[in-house]
Chains A and B, each alone.
Chain A
Amino acid sequence: MLIQILFHVFAAILVVSAIGVITTRNPVFSALALVMCFVTSAAIWLLIEAEFLAVVLVLVYVGAVMVLFLFVVMMLDIDLAELRQGFTRFAWLGWITALAVIIEIAGVVWAKGGLGVDVTRGATPLPADYSNTLELGKLLYGRYAYPLELAAMLLLVAIVAAIALTMRHRAGLKKQDVDAQVAVRAADRVRLVKMDPEKRP
């Protein structure tokens, strides 16, 4: 019963903050509303005993991705008036898409019902010594080791591609010369000069 109440509370907050993401005029508020979305989704995941995913969602998305996002939003000089121009012109397209997606989701749920899968049933409670993280680790590094390795290669490609496409050696670029820094000696930098003390006038 308590879990049901909690679920509905979190779900309501989630829906409200999701609407907030697309309705607030200030992109910073939008990003903050998205943070709220992630936090409440994490809470909902906790309710179905997926602790690891909940923690990762907060750590990765809220902690890293959204902070980066906020930085970008704050640093870029976004002209809101220009962005908002013509925004409503395509609203009808958005409505049609939303409607289509809703119908599709309903269709899938209906099709699942046809196959005898009960989609309304909640998760079965698990024993107290059940470790979500351990089970996930066993799956990831056991059964799904091959896709995991492939995903790792995909990230490597992304790094190589990003660096190859953006790093340029421009003339006049100021950068550290590590060799010179290491090779430097105190004697080359500081010259001690013997001087007679000045007399006070």
Chain B
Amino acid sequence: MSEPAFLWSSLAPAIPEISLVVAICAVLLIDVFMGDRRTGLTSTLTLVALAVCAALTVEYGHVMERVVLLNGMYVADELAYVLKLVGFSVVAVVLLYSRRYLVDHGILRGEYYVLALTALLGIFVLVSANSLLTVYLGVELLALSVYAMVAFDRDSGVAAESAMKYFVLGAIASGALLYGMSLLYGLAGTLDLGELTARLASPSSLGVVMGVVFVVVAVAFKLGAVPFHMWLPDVYEGAPTSVTLFIGTVPKIAYFALALRLLAEGLAGMAPEWTQMLAPLAVLTLVVGNVVALVQTNLKRMLAYSTISNVGFIVLGFVAGTPDGYAAALYYTLVYVLVALGSFGVILLASRKGFEADRLEDYKGLYRRDPLLAFAMMLLMFSTAGVPPLVGFWAKLRIFQALWETHHLYLVIIAAAMSVVGAFYYLRVIKLMYFDEPVAAIPPAVGGAGVRLVLGLNAAAVLVLGILPGPLLNLCARVLH
């Protein structure tokens, strides 16, 4: 009757979460005792903590096959391992890019780093979730940290407004998610995602389909798919750029995992239903994202609509509903995170005290002021537009292949047409940087050499992965088969 809750020795695959929780507590306490004057130390400490956690994960947390732990609530597989390592490195780079911006805006406080780490913990929980309960807790852990980060600049009214919008709409999405989960739980009688797959199969009762509808709505909201995208442009524009960089990159990994664990694994039996629901969402997302981005004058807002259109591609991978489709969606997500990291990084590095560098006209003649930033931005924009041989091209190609194999010809045509529309506004940024005269005298960016080197490597990765796409493609295919 009384079995032990869990054996400590069996917890090795959960080392990323365990070490991260320890790191969060350590950073929080050390920051409090150091006081306000030594916040620079906290940022260094956070980077060191991330490196240590990542090293521990590589050393002890590598699992070759699926392991289910903690009474079936936690799953460790190669996909989770890869996504967690990506999470560690992306957060580290994000914090590296953000530091000077935070100093300039007077918001370099220890809590910022703590909240970034707790958001990462939420992502890990989601990535390894094997129960509706842990899925929900992961979503909330991530969302709560991010709401606070958006409102972090307390003197900015715009940031407070966008945080409020994000919070209220996010609460509605959480409600939808919970409602859908409660229906599924009530009808299947289990929270375990593996059991859920076994008990729910299409065609199913109306109640189950309704539960699936609410879950799909919540996933679409979190990803930012049209018509649940309203929060995204406002939050991206209103948040401090360093937070925009954060929410534009890392959580995408989590929301990919959310869609995969919930829909592709937990509700695998209901795939005919949810692929039907996702297909119109994907089409709307592609059309609205690309068309509305054309008329934006604010670069952050334009990139927000570009995010929406990219989400459309990720959703298309799920519409295909095959392991190839999921692998394509994973590849697309990773590529998108890499490119978004670079593009928001360029905005961060181009900005300085009193100059946000978030309007498109601020980029006129950037080539003459700062050739490195301009060149990096050019590579990133070409990649998002899907120009070969950059990595964005392969990402789009894989999605098209997966759709082609599942006979979704009309989706391929719409997605291709919308990519052409999208190319216009990406190329416009390049035109502004290289062929236009600067409108006003703006002093050159003063980023540290180290940060600029990382940004250069980030842009170079877009090129290198584009020329040698094999390893990453194979990795994505392997972890999802």
Q: Which residues of A contact B (CB under 8 A)?
A: 104, 107-108, 111-112, 114-115, 138, 141-147, 150-151, 153-154, 156-158, 160-161, 163-165, 168-169
6 tightest A-B CB contacts, nearest first: A161-B148, A164-B111, A111-B207, A150-B137, A146-B70, A142-B5
Q: Is B140 a contact partner of A154 (Cβ separation < 8 A)?
A: yes
Q: Is A154 a contact partner of B137 (Cβ separation < 8 A)?
A: yes
User: Which residues of chain B come closer than 8 Å to A161, judged between CB atoms?
Assistant: 111, 115, 144-145, 147-148
Q: Is A163 a contact partner of B205 (Cβ separation < 8 A)?
A: no
In angstroms, how far is the closest chain A Cβ from the Cβ of B206?
7
In angstroms, how far is the closest chain A Cβ from the Cβ of B178?
14
CA of A145 to CA of B140, assembled, Å? 18
- B6, B71, B115, B125: the one contacting A164 at CB < 8 Å is B115
Contact with A along B14-48 (1 / 0, CB 8 A): 00000001001000100000001000000000000
User: Which residues of chain B come closer than 8 Å to A151, judged between CB atoms?
Assistant: 137
B 182-228 contacts with A by CB, 8 A: 183, 186-187, 205-207, 210
Q: Is B144 a contact partner of A156 (Cβ separation < 8 A)?
A: no
Pick from B36, B74, B154 the residue with the most CB of A within 10 Å.
B154
CA of A153 to CA of B134, assembled, Å? 13
Q: A150-B137, A165-B148 are in contact. Are A160 and B73 (CB under 8 A)?
A: no
Q: Is B141 a contact partner of A150 (Cβ separation < 8 A)?
A: yes
Q: Is A164 a contact partner of B5 (Cβ separation < 8 A)?
A: no
Question: Is B118 an interface position by the 8 A CB rule?
Answer: yes
CA of A115 to CA of B185, assembled, Å? 13
Question: Is B121 an interface position by the 8 A CB rule?
Answer: yes
Q: Is B207 a contact partner of A153 (Cβ separation < 8 A)?
A: no
CA of A161 to CA of B154, assembled, Å? 12
Task: A143-B5, A143-B71, A165-B152 given; name 6 further pairs at CB < 8 Å.
Answer: A111-B206, A112-B186, A142-B71, A145-B70, A150-B141, A160-B118
Nearest neighbor of A162 in chain B, beta-carbon distance: B148
B 83-118 contacts with A by CB, 8 A: 109, 111-112, 114-115, 118
Nearest neighbor of B151 in chain A, beta-carbon distance: A165
In angstroms, how far is the closest chain B Cβ from the Cβ of A31?
22
Q: Is A108 a contact partner of B5 (Cβ separation < 8 A)?
A: no
In angstroms, how far is the closest chain B Cβ from the Cβ of A90?
17
Contact with A along B125-149 (1 / 0, CB 8 A): 1000001011001101100110110
Q: Is A153 a contact partner of B141 (Cβ separation < 8 A)?
A: yes
CA of A183 to CA of B210, assembled, Å? 67
In angstroms, how far is the closest chain A Cβ from the Cβ of B198?
15
In angstroms, how far is the closest chain B Cβ from the Cβ of A98?
16
CA of A153 to CA of B119, assembled, Å? 11
B 298-345 contacts with A by CB, 8 A: none
CA of A157 to CA of B143, assembled, Å? 10
User: Which residues of chain B come closer than 8 Å to A147, judged between CB atoms?
Assistant: 73, 131, 133-134, 137
Q: Is B187 a contact partner of A150 (Cβ separation < 8 A)?
A: no
User: Which residues of chain B come closer than 8 Å to A114, judged between CB atoms?
Assistant: 205
User: Which residues of chain B come closer than 8 Å to A108, judged between CB atoms?
Assistant: 183, 186-187, 207
Q: Is B21 a contact partner of A157 (Cβ separation < 8 A)?
A: no
Q: Is A112 a contact partner of B5 (Cβ separation < 8 A)?
A: no
User: Which residues of chain A come closer than 8 Å to B6, judged between CB atoms?
Assistant: 145
CA of A164 to CA of B205, assembled, Å? 47
Q: A141-B5, A142-B5 are in contact. Are A158 and B206 (CB under 8 A)?
A: no
Nearest neighbor of A117 in chain B, beta-carbon distance: B189
- A111, A141, A154: the one contacting B141 at CB < 8 Å is A154
User: Which residues of chain A come closer than 8 Å to B118, judged between CB atoms?
Assistant: 153, 156-157, 160
Q: Is A157 a contact partner of B141 (Cβ separation < 8 A)?
A: yes
User: Which residues of chain A come closer than 8 Å to B134, judged between CB atoms?
Assistant: 146-147, 150
Q: A147-B134, A168-B154 are in contact. Are A160 and B114 (CB under 8 A)?
A: yes
Q: Is B187 a contact partner of A160 (Cβ separation < 8 A)?
A: no
User: Which residues of chain B come closer than 8 Å to A145, judged between CB atoms?
Assistant: 5-6, 70-71
CA of A60 to CA of B5, assembled, Å? 28
User: Which residues of chain B come closer than 8 Å to A160, judged between CB atoms?
Assistant: 28, 111, 114-115, 118, 148
Q: A145-B6, A147-B137 are in contact. Are A111 and B187 (CB under 8 A)?
A: yes
Nearest neighbor of A119 in chain B, beta-carbon distance: B186
What are 5 inter-chain pairs, A to B, with CB distance below 8 A?
Answer: A107-B210, A146-B70, A160-B118, A164-B115, A169-B36
Pick from A111, A114, A161 the residue with the most CB of B within 10 Å.
A161
CA of A161 to CA of B148, assembled, Å? 6
User: Which residues of chain A come closer than 8 Å to B152, judged between CB atoms?
Assistant: 164-165
Nearest neighbor of A151 in chain B, beta-carbon distance: B137
Q: Is A153 a contact partner of B187 (Cβ separation < 8 A)?
A: no
In angstroms, how far is the closest chain B Cβ from the Cβ of A194?
45
Q: Is A146 a contact partner of B154 (Cβ separation < 8 A)?
A: no
